[in-house]
Amino acid sequence: MPPSRKRSRLTRKSKSKKSVGTRNPETPPQSQAETSSEPLTRPHAAFNVLTVSSRNATQASLANLGQNPFEHGKKQDHEEPASPHAQKKVGYAPLHDPPLVLPECPTNEEKYCYLHTNRVPLYIFGIFAFFSLSAGMWLFTVCDYIFAWFGLFVFLLQAYLMVSYFVGIVGRDWDFESHKQVLLSYVITATNAPTADIYLPCCSEDLTILENTYKHVQNLEYPQDKLKVYVMDDGNKAEVKEIAERFCPRPDFLSELIPEHLADDKTAIIQTPQFFRVGSNQTWVEQGAGVTQELFYRVVQVNRNRWGASICVGSNAVYRRAALEEVGGTAEIGFSEDVHTGFGAVNRGWKVKYIPLCLATGVCPDTPRSFLSQQMRWCMGSTTLLSNPEFWKSKLTFIQKVCYLCGFMYYSAVALSIFVSSIPGILLLWFRPIYFKYYNLAFAVPSIAYGLIVFHFWAKASFGFNVQHIMVIQSYAYLTAIKDKIFGKTLQWVPTGDARAHKSNKYRNMRILCWMWTLTVLGALVGAVTYRVGFKGMVWYNTLPLIILNVYNVYLAHPFLFHT
């Protein structure tokens, strides 16, 4: 592919990239590593690789590059508190940042662990749980006219699940054999290798994370005269400049991805998964956040890939320079700009392809506050795109628009679940006790089992209760983002890796709302049970399943409630 000679106009205006280092003209090619304020001004770079060095995206710890050489750089664990009470206090209101756990590159087994979606049991059990829950919710809705309003929430939830399952059922696994043929047909050599730029954005991340990233990038293999690396430091730290000047990357995973670009000159972006390894040395937030991403990258993106509707998530992606120039560069928006950039490319006839090879390991947010901030940005990006009239007037096919719409519906359904899942049983007990029976909750049992048992055996990562804890935070994050969008509040971009950037009131406000809703539900439950059992003679065991369910919900929410 002939290199592009056109100078780029793609300098991002919304986020100023400060130059913190320059290349020594006498430095040989194998030691070139730059930081730049205009990363796309290289006149001959045909492809651009984005690998984000922060907790909200995947680190450049790429597959088949050896073990992490920076074990000595890990922070030491804090001393254990002397008493169980002190341990609980530190867990809920920590006085220090959690210890840093650096990622190591995926093993060969992990690299290919997303090749098989194992979708059949996932969708069989999922559809059964869907019909069971839907039946119970509709029976509640139609049992009395005073509950008719609940039908709106049921309809919205069913619409999302029906669209989601449709896309999943008609989807198919990625064709790995075809990919291997592409690799054989387009072998990267020093002669035919296109030029590539690697971007390493950062903003106030821990230097140990950056050093780990740069060290792994240094080990990449690619023709040295065709590669250039840019460290884009919004924090303008002298230490970042010093680290960046030490290392020279040689892109290796490009040999897996560049051939796909060469095989189809209309491919704008090749996206790979953000892979997160889950370990006992991580915080409960990191553990839960890492596992929740598996469904999206192992199944959802693969399903959407069939229709050309996979989204670009930014990191671990290879962008064709010509496509970026045509769309005017990266979308100038403070959140989920990668999704908007990918949409702009697809709307102009380009393709976004997804390859489910885990080529890098990421680091997730490690505190509830940073996780809530990240999830708010993701939700806001989707709602902003879907509320843009240009999306509905775009050239995307009907099924492509449905796939994008499904993402927005997911955020809405999860946000609504805060209220929808808690109130039917309590309202029935208060106002229509004649219909209240202990076996009513049987309709919800398949859904609970689906989330706790089916996913436990399906997931490659360790699937535990931390996932359920994290989903509570997700619900309130999406609720906040949708509320801000409705009321026209702009969400400012903050880097997930900068702890100081998350000192906003939104986390506090959502915890207050969670406390208020939890106490309201518990108060209504205690009042209803006391009144019906104590004064109206209802048999006690009819209320037992509802009590157990609400105690379980409090257990799921308690880390968010108490973690300041």
Task: Compute the average pLDDT of residues 495-512.
Answer: 71
Same domain, 305 and 211: yes
Q: Is residue 393 situated within a structural domain? A: no
pLDDT at 42: 47
pLDDT at 27: 37
Query: Confidence band (pLDDT; 50, 70, 90) for 245?
Result: very low
Same domain, 412 and 361: no
Inter-residue contact 560 to 368 (CB < 8 Å): yes
Rounded (5°) CA angle 89-292-457: 105
> Is 495 or 366 the better-scoring residue by pLDDT?
366
Q: Is residue 43 situated within a structural domain? A: yes
Lowest-confidence range among 119-133, 186-200, 293-307? 186-200
Instruction: Give yes or no for residue 13 having a pLDDT over 90.
Output: no
Q: Is residue 148 situated within a structural domain? A: no
Same domain, 250 and 347: yes
pLDDT at 252: 62
Same domain, 346 and 412: no
Same domain, 215 and 319: yes
- Give the end of a domain, one of 366, 392, 423: 366
Task: Compute the average pLDDT of residues 248-267.
Answer: 78
pLDDT at 191: 86
Query: Confidence band (pLDDT; 50, 70, 90) for 463?
Result: confident
Query: CATH no. for residue 241?
Result: 3.90.550.10
Inter-residue contact 153 to 416 (CB < 8 Å): yes
Same domain, 450 and 312: no
pLDDT at 559: 94
Instruction: Give yes or no for residue 142 having a pLDDT over 80.
Output: yes
Instruction: Give yes or no for residue 246 having a pLDDT over 50.
Output: no
- Give the end of a domain, one of 366, 397, 423: 366
pLDDT at 423: 93
Same domain, 237 and 342: yes
Instruction: Give yes or no for residue 235 having a pLDDT over 80.
Output: no
Could you tell me the residue range of the domain that residue 317 belongs to? 29-69+99-114+173-366
Q: Using CA atoms, how far apart are residues 412 and 556, in angstroms rounded to an integer?
A: 20
Query: Confidence band (pLDDT; 50, 70, 90) for 519?
Result: very high
Query: Confidence band (pLDDT; 50, 70, 90) for 331?
Result: confident
Same domain, 333 and 430: no
* Entry pTM: 0.81
Instruction: Give yes or no for residue 73 having a pLDDT over 50.
Output: no
pLDDT exceeding 90 applies to what percent of the chain?
51
> Is 24 or 104 the better-scoring residue by pLDDT?
104
Task: Compute the average pLDDT of residues 513-532.
Answer: 97
Query: Confidence band (pLDDT; 50, 70, 90) for 229?
Result: confident
Instruction: Give yes or no for residue 503 having a pLDDT over 90.
Output: no
Same domain, 546 and 412: yes
Task: Compute the average pLDDT of residues 157-178.
Answer: 91
- Residue 229's SS3 state is strand
pLDDT at 64: 40
Q: Based on the structure, what is the number of domains in the chain?
A: 2
Lowest-confidence range among 13-22, 227-236, 412-421? 13-22
pLDDT at 57: 39
Same domain, 431 and 357: no
Instruction: Give yes or no for residue 82 having a pLDDT over 70.
Output: no
Q: Is residue 39 situated within a structural domain? A: yes
Query: Confidence band (pLDDT; 50, 70, 90) for 36?
Result: very low
pLDDT at 59: 39
> Is 109 or 235 the better-scoring residue by pLDDT?
109
**What pLDDT digit, counting tens, does each position of 84-107 carry?**
555 555 556 565 667 777 777 788
Burial class (CB in 10 A: 0-12, 13-18, 19+), 326: middle
Q: Is residue 18 situated within a structural domain? A: no
Lowest-confidence range among 153-167, 235-249, 488-502? 235-249
Q: What per-residue string of b and e applies to 228-244 under the rule 16 or more CB within 10 Å gives b?
A: bbbbbbbeebeebbebb
Q: Using CA atoms, how far apart are residues 483 and 208, in angstroms rounded to an integer?
A: 37
Same domain, 359 and 417: no
pLDDT at 2: 41
**What pLDDT digit, counting tens, does each position of 284-295 carry?**
999 999 999 999
C-alpha atoms less than 13 angstroms from C-alpha of 227 in its C-beta half-sphere: 29
Closest by CA to 289, choosing from 496, 561, 49, 507, is 496
Lowest-confidence range among 112-121, 379-388, 500-509? 500-509
Q: Is residue 164 situated within a structural domain? A: no
pLDDT at 341: 92
Inter-residue contact 306 to 171 (CB < 8 Å): yes
Lowest-confidence range among 88-92, 110-114, 297-301, 383-387? 88-92
Mean pLDDT of the chain: 80
CB atoms within 10 A of CB 11: 15
Q: Using CA atoms, how far apart are residues 34 and 230, in angstroms rounded to an integer?
A: 5
> Is 117 or 314 the better-scoring residue by pLDDT?
117
pLDDT at 65: 36
Q: Is residue 297 situated within a structural domain? A: yes
**What pLDDT digit, counting tens, does each position of 45-72 carry?**
677 765 544 444 333 334 443 333 333 3
DSSP label at 49?
A: E
pLDDT at 548: 96
Q: Is residue 376 situated within a structural domain? A: no
Same domain, 282 and 428: no
Task: Compute the average pLDDT of residues 144-150.
Answer: 95
Looking at 77-118, list the stretches that DSSP marks H as alpha helix, in order from N- to C-terminal side. Answer: 84-92, 108-111
